[in-house]
Structures are given as C-alpha cells and as structure tokens.
Structure 1
Amino acid sequence: MHILLTAATPFEVQPTIDYLASGPAQTSHLTITPLVTGVGSLPTTWSLMRQIGRERPRLIIQAGIAGCFTDRKPGEVVAVGKETLADIGVWEDRTFKSIFDLRLAGPDSPPFTGGQLINPWRQLLGLTSLDPVPAVTVNEITTDPARISWYQQNTGAVVESMEGGALHFVCLQENIPFIQLRAISNEVGVRDKTKWDIRSAIASLNTRLTGFLEKLNTTADTIF
C-alpha cells in the first residue's frame, strides 16, 4: 500500500522518517513516501498535485504542529475532521464575509459541504483513536483578537494551520483518502514563543503518527 506522508517542514516528521528507515516489521506492508511541501496553502497544493501526477498514492497523511483556539495543552494531538478556508473573502464592518457570503461560490459546490472541507473517511479517522475536530486554514498566522473571536464563534475551530485546507481540497477533488494529524504547539494569539512547546508537540505528533501507521499496516485491507 503506497502512502504519501506530507509535512510543511522536515523537522515536523523527522522522527517518523527515522523510524521508518529502520525497516520495522510493524510497517512492512506499507510503502511510504515522505514529501515536504513547504509552508502555506499554495506550496502545499502545488507539491501535492505534482506528486500525485508522478505516482498516485492510496492514502495521503499530513502531519504537523498547529496553534490552538481552545484550552488544550501543548503536545496534545488531534485529527482534523473538517476545514474552513478562513481568510478567503473580505473583512468588512468588523465581520468576515466568505466567498460563500459574497455569493462568489456555492457553499455546496464540490468539494465543499456547507462551506467546509469535510473528511468523509470515518474509518480512517477512527483508526487514529482521536476525536476529529474542526480547523481553519489561513495564509497569515492569526494574532488579532477580533479575528480569533470570529473564528471561534463562526467555525468552532480547535486548531489553525497554513496547509490543512489545501490537503482537504486536493484530496476531495482527486478522491484520495486522507488524514490530517496536528499537534498543538501554542495558543493562537500574540506570538510569545516563551509559551510555545514545539519539542513536546513534535514528540507527541510522531508517537501518534507511528502508532497510526502500525495500526494501518494490519487493517488497511478492511478500510480500502
């Protein structure tokens, strides 16, 4: 089974790459290709489409760290169930209007469902043993309190990234199963890096990621 393992930066998944290089029996039925897409939605979309064109995978996994909107500790790992492209639109009169509000696109025009990009692969999400959470994807890391409040009230987002929405969009359009795993490194808001814990987030992320791959090694035939 061919799996594409993607991350915005190499350090986010390096422990898993090192683990796979040792050739563990727990992943013997999987062929895993790492792909560093770069930071942001545009590089991620281009990298994914180029790689899919070269060799179409059975599954794409995106793993990385993320900021959190809710009261969760750094190092906690979540699986993303649905994404909102949260900065495509216009801020006007202290509120955000999406392309759907502006009637530039229909909220149920593929690959959107109700204006969101929803992962339909429930068995894969279940295999993570994590509750799927909503997320937002932005091109500019959020620090403004008004925007943070809007995202919380209107999307219910738990985490924020700069690449998740690109994964969901591409995979839904290409009909490729996918999973997005995110480890919380910081609270969304003012960039006070003294309160960030990237090391703990990466350690937890890769523990969950290797565990997911080990489960997939023995259950893939029942899912695909």
Structure 2
Amino acid sequence: MSISKTNHRKTIGFKDVVTVVLFSVLTFIVSLVTAIPFSGSVYGMLFGGYALMALICGPIYQIMINKAPRIGTQILFFSVKALYMLICGQLLTAAVFFVGGLICEAICLGDGYRNMVKSTAAYALHTTLYGFGSFFPAIFLTESYSARMTAAGASPESVAATIGVYHQPLTMLGVAVVLIAFSIIGVLIGTKMFRKHFAPAGIA
C-alpha cells in the first residue's frame, strides 16, 4: 500500500514549504486544543490528551504527506515546532524535536514518502517524540523544571507529584504504546478519508 503519487519532483519546493508549515501549525493547534479537557490530570493528559492529538492529527498528517511527499517535509514538519520551543526557551525540547525531524526524514528517504508503512512509522515516531519531548525537561532537568513551574504558580507538592509520574518507567512505556497505537489508527483513518474525499477531487 503506497501513498498517492503526484509529480516526480523529489525535493521540497516553496509551495511545499508553505503547505508543510501550515499543516504543522494546524497540528500544533490541535495539540493545544486536545490538551484542554485533560489539563487537570497528569495521567489524563498523558493517556488522553496525547492520544487524542495523535488520532486527530493522523488524517492531517496523511493529507500533508500526500500533498508534499518530498525530501525535507519531515524535517520541516518537526522544525516548526522546534522553533516555537526554542523561542519559548525550551532548549532540550527543541533539540529533541529537531533530532526527531532528522530521524523521521531518514525513515522516509528513498521511497518512504510514498510507502505507507514507512510514512506511518515516521508519524508514530513524530507523535511519540512530540509527547515525550514536551516533558523531557521534567525528567532530565528536574530542578529547573520545578523552579519554573513553581514560579508559574504551581504548588511545590503538585510539581513534585507531576515529576514523580514522569519518572515511572511503566507509565512512560504505556504512554509510548498508546501514542504509537493511536498514531497508526489516525493515519489509517486519514488514508481512508483521503482516498474517499480528497483524491477524487484532485487534492494531492
């Protein structure tokens, strides 16, 4: 099963850049919106907010890949979010996102952009790293994360409880499994949507 073919240009062009940036911003907005219903619970956010994000963004990703199946798309898709994190001063998260973009690009090199398995694997990795990258500071930069959250108004007790959750290996493994599963489901839904609604209309 392969991604819909458009033209044979291999590298990303200006039109593709605009498309990928817009879709990247859209997925970022979706991640913010899907977090709202689960913002009161760390576990809810990990297993609910991120899973819902992976599911809803799957079709968005699939349409983007069909519109811009070219070298550079994966890097740019992640780099937009990395730039935002860099502006916000989250250097570790920005670094994770940028490296993630490089890995996703490596997965899609060759026929990967037109290969369903490889493009889905890249998306699953993208959502997993996006989820984990968001709370990596709490795991690896615990003191600075705690100070930042406390300065933002969170109580020391709630911050300590949140950090404790992030340091539970089984919980993190569960989050990874859920993100990968919902990413795959999201892409499958996106594939059906594209073939039924977008491909017949010539949107590719």
TM-score by length of 1: 0.30
Higher percent of residues as strand: 1
TM-score by length of 2: 0.32
Higher percent of residues as helix: 2
